[in-house]
Amino acid sequence: MTDQDYQLFEQRQRARGIDVERVKSRLKSLKIETPSWGFGDSGTRFKVFRNRYAARTPYERIEDAAEVHRLTGLCPSVAIHIPWDKTDSYDGLRSHAESLGVTIGAINPNLFQDDAYMLGSVTNADVTIRRKATEHLLECVDIARQTGSRDISLWFADGTNYPGQGDLRARKTWMRESLEEVYGALAPGMRMLIEYKFFEPAFYHTDLADWGMAYNLACKLGPQAQVLVDTGHHAPGTNVEHIVAYLLDECRLGGFHFNSRKYADDDLIVGAIDPYELFLIFYQIVHASEDACADVRSTVDNIAYMIDQSHNIEPKVEAMVRSVLNVQTQYAKALLVDHAEVRAAQERQDVLGAEEAVRKAFEFDVGPLLRVVREEQGLPVDPIAAFREGAYNGKIKKRASSFKG
């Protein structure tokens, strides 16, 4: 790739009326949160293949996250999972993160690991288990205060495997009661992000099966409750970008958990299987960022972009770098859509003209653009190569000496 490639790119985009400097500045402000659990040995329903270089403590997981940020400039915060990242001193964890140039992001409670939750957490028919679950959520709000986190990110494994196993409407009420209490404990400015999933680990029903249920709950709770879209949590064929557009229009889209799925909740590298879907999600976001309504624009500004992937066979830091670069690439392409061209085609009811106007942005090679953006930010032009050759890779290799396979 040469400067000529970039010059050509810039000329072509200028000729289309795209403000390339604005595209660059929007790319420079993209922030994607990485998950601590993606750096340790965790995840997958079948088997965890232990990785000899995986981070072993919350502190090391934050160090890996900081390395991803150092390489890409895209990941200034890291989400933590409680109790996986439990520590005696959240102040200490916070200072550790800040000393490495990152902050602690969303707090993810864990309501699926304890034996007590086998038949549900906040929806359990046993009031003492519901209480335990609510107390854990309140503990996470308290942790968020200490870490300076804005978002509490909620995913529930709650559901049933058989008709009649649970009272679906009672469970709905119990979940709302629990979340109302937790909502009441949020500090001003904090948000509760509500994630849905249509199956797994329960298979007959899940208590928050889709975006509509999460949306309804968020509306009942209040403006600090928002919906979190995990791209892996939909039935095949679901139009995820439509859900995104709908929630944006209702000012209830709080964030994303990015990953790719082929059959189930695979936690594969985002953009690896269906980059066009990711592009179309960003197309909706970029379009909404120009909305006439200030509340819609502000919803866009506050979207928490997060990765939710636990790599099981991939080298962890590299897989995370690949993931955030894939997100950046599709965002860059979405920034090249000429919305006036799309609108004009829509107005003349030109179906294929409109489709072409969107798709052509996807087909541009944004490699030269991203290279220049990285150069201007003083970042490695090829972050994966920089990681492979860098000192940090050597450092994590030393973890192997204490590896007990």
Which does residue 341 bind out of ligand PSV, Mn ion, none, counting CB within 5 to 8 angstroms by kind? none
The answer to the question of residue 308 lying near Mn ion (CB under 5 A) is yes
Minimum CB–partner distance for residue 292 and ligand PSV (Å): 33
Q: Are 223 and 249 in contact (CB under 8 A)?
A: no
DSSP structural state of residue 269: P
Please report, as ranges, the residues that interact with ligand PSV according to CB under 6 A.
108, 155, 195, 197, 230, 257, 265, 308
DSSP per residue over 335-364, as a string?
Answer: TT--HHHHHHHHHTT-HHHHHHHHHHHHHS
Minimum CB–partner distance for residue 346 and ligand PSV (Å): 35
Q: Which long-range contacts (CB under 8 A, 24 or more apart) does 41-46 make?
A: 42/84, 42/310, 43/267, 43/309, 43/310, 43/311, 43/312, 44/267, 44/310, 44/312, 45/200, 45/201
Site mask for Mn ion (CB under 5 A), range 137-166, x = bound: ------------------------------
Minimum CB–partner distance for residue 366 and ligand PSV (Å): 28
Nearer to Mn ion, 67 or 308 (CB): 308
Measure the CA–CA gap between 72 and 97, rounded to whole angstroms. Answer: 17
Measure the CA–CA gap between 52 and 396, rounded to whole angstroms. Answer: 9
Minimum CB–partner distance for residue 113 and Mn ion (Å): 14
Minimum CB–partner distance for residue 295 and Mn ion (Å): 26
Which does residue 108 bind out of ligand PSV, Mn ion, none, counting CB within 5 to 8 angstroms by kind? ligand PSV
Measure the CA–CA gap between 55 and 36, rounded to whole angstroms. Answer: 9
Which does residue 33 bind out of Mn ion, ligand PSV, none, counting CB within 5 to 8 angstroms by kind? none
The answer to the question of residue 265 lying near Mn ion (CB under 5 A) is yes
Residue 52, class by beta-carbon neighbours within 10 Å (0-12 exposed, 13-18 middle, 19+ buried)? middle
Minimum CB–partner distance for residue 36 and ligand PSV (Å): 10
Kindly tell me the sign of the dihedral angle through the C-alpha atoms of 107, 400, 310, 329: positive
Which does residue 252 bind out of Mn ion, ligand PSV, none, counting CB within 5 to 8 angstroms by kind? none
Site mask for Mn ion (CB under 5 A), range 223-242, x = bound: -------x------------
Nearer to Mn ion, 47 or 398 (CB): 47
Residues 6+ apart with CB under 8 A from 8: 368
Minimum CB–partner distance for residue 35 and ligand PSV (Å): 7
Measure the CA–CA gap between 374 and 73, rounded to whole angstroms. Answer: 8
Measure the CA–CA gap between 290 and 366, rounded to whole angstroms. Answer: 22
Nearer to ligand PSV, 278 or 286 (CB): 278
Strands 253-258 and 304-307: parallel
The answer to the question of residue 10 lying near Mn ion (CB under 5 A) is no
Task: Choose one: 28-36, 260-268, 345-353, 354-362; the region binding Mn ion (CB under 5 A).
Answer: 260-268
Nearer to Mn ion, 257 or 333 (CB): 257
Which does residue 226 bind out of ligand PSV, Mn ion, none, counting CB within 5 to 8 angstroms by kind? none
Minimum CB–partner distance for residue 267 and Mn ion (Å): 6
Minimum CB–partner distance for residue 288 and ligand PSV (Å): 24
> 259, 361, 277: which is closest to 16 by C-alpha?
361
Minimum CB–partner distance for residue 195 and Mn ion (Å): 5
Token pair, residue 287, equals: 């379009």
Which does residue 329 bind out of Mn ion, ligand PSV, none, counting CB within 5 to 8 angstroms by kind? none
- Nearest residue to ligand PSV, by Cβ distance, number only: 155
Measure the CA–CA gap between 131 and 204, rounded to whole angstroms. Answer: 25
Measure the CA–CA gap between 258 and 265, rounded to whole angstroms. Answer: 11
The answer to the question of residue 130 lying near Mn ion (CB under 5 A) is no
Nearer to ligand PSV, 85 or 230 (CB): 230
Nearer to ligand PSV, 13 or 121 (CB): 121
Token pair, residue 401, equals: 């000496």
Token pair, residue 241, equals: 């970008």
> 320, 382, 369, 379: which is closest to 19 by C-alpha?
369
Token pair, residue 48, equals: 């965890």
Which does residue 94 bind out of ligand PSV, Mn ion, none, counting CB within 5 to 8 angstroms by kind? none
The answer to the question of residue 311 lying near Mn ion (CB under 5 A) is no
Q: Among 24, 94, 205, 257, which residue sits at the site for Mn ion (rule: CB under 5 A)?
A: 257
Binding site for Mn ion (CB under 5 A): 230, 257, 265, 308
